[in-house]
Amino acid sequence: MRGERDAGGSAPGLRPQLPAIGRLALHFLAAYVVVQAVFLGMAELAARIVYPDVRSVDVGLALALHQHAAPALTVLFLGLTILGSGLANVLLTAALAWLLARRRLPILASMLVLVMLGGWSLEFVTKLVLHRARPEYLRLAAATGYSFPSGHALEATCLYGALALALWPLVRRPWQRVGLVALATLMPLSIGLSRVYLGVHYPSDVLGGWVGGLLWLAATRLAVRACERQRGP
């Protein structure tokens, strides 16, 4: 059975991958603790010092967006908000991780899953600590739970940003890389905008989601690089 099993009975390349994935998970855990503390600190400072002076701007921007409401736009933004829902993100993450694993890229598959797990935890803990109420005006969609940060904005930033980072080394043509950048930029922007349009988030909630997602992506990128430097020959 040469070529199918190594001397220890494991599939070739499997045993070296397992320690690498373990190291990656540990680096991600350390990065998450730092990002969670930093993000909470930033949000608390903004809520206590900055937001009281800009709350009228926050509400005014949301109301200004609602002035342009139209049936076609409502259908479009409802579709975007469904695409950015928790269930859709779970299904997309599972499908993409499976495809990466099928392509014999278990590290990239693990990175994608870990990024999303960290993003969901960042959203949950921050909402639980800050417990900001959702806006109550001009609701065009149902929503429950706390408002800050926007989970749709944060998760979309994590998902499409992580996908772009994972695929970047695998694509060489300029138009492919432009497409990755466009996907990682436009999807979080449009999904976040849909939440304000539908009246279920303040603009600052969405901005917080984008910032939290970007912080987490930057930290995970550093974690991946640190893990690569520790990898043996």
Give the pair of three-digit tokens for residue 84: 């950015």
**pLDDT at residue 76, rounded to an integer:** 94
Cis peptide upstream of residue 203 (ω within 30 degrees of 0): no
Q: Which amino acid is at 193?
A: L
Q: Which stretches of the chain are DSSP H helices?
A: 14-45, 51-66, 71-83, 86-102, 106-130, 151-167, 174-197, 203-230
Q: Strand ranges (DSSP E) for the chain?
A: none
Question: Measured between alpha carbons, how far is 201 from 150 in angstroms, rounded to an integer?
Answer: 7
- pLDDT tens per residue across all 233 residues of the chain: 444 444 444 444 444 454 677 777 888 899 999 999 999 999 888 888 777 777 788 888 888 888 888 889 999 999 999 999 999 999 999 999 999 888 888 888 888 999 999 999 999 999 999 988 888 877 888 888 899 999 999 999 999 999 998 888 888 888 989 999 999 999 999 999 999 999 899 999 999 999 999 999 999 988 888 776 766 54
**pLDDT at residue 98, rounded to an integer:** 93
Helix (H, G, I), strand (E, B) or coil at 209: helix
How does DSSP assign 65-127, residue by residue?
Answer: HHTT--HHHHHHHHHHHHHTSHHHHHHHHHHHHHHHHHTT-HHHHHHHHHHHHHHHHHHHHHH
pTM, entire model: 0.85
Neighbours of 190 (CB within 10 A): 16
**pLDDT at residue 108, rounded to an integer:** 85
**pLDDT at residue 10, rounded to an integer:** 42
**pLDDT at residue 110, rounded to an integer:** 86
Give the pair of three-digit tokens for residue 19: 């320690």
3-state helix, strand, coil in the chain (%, to 5): 75, 0, 20
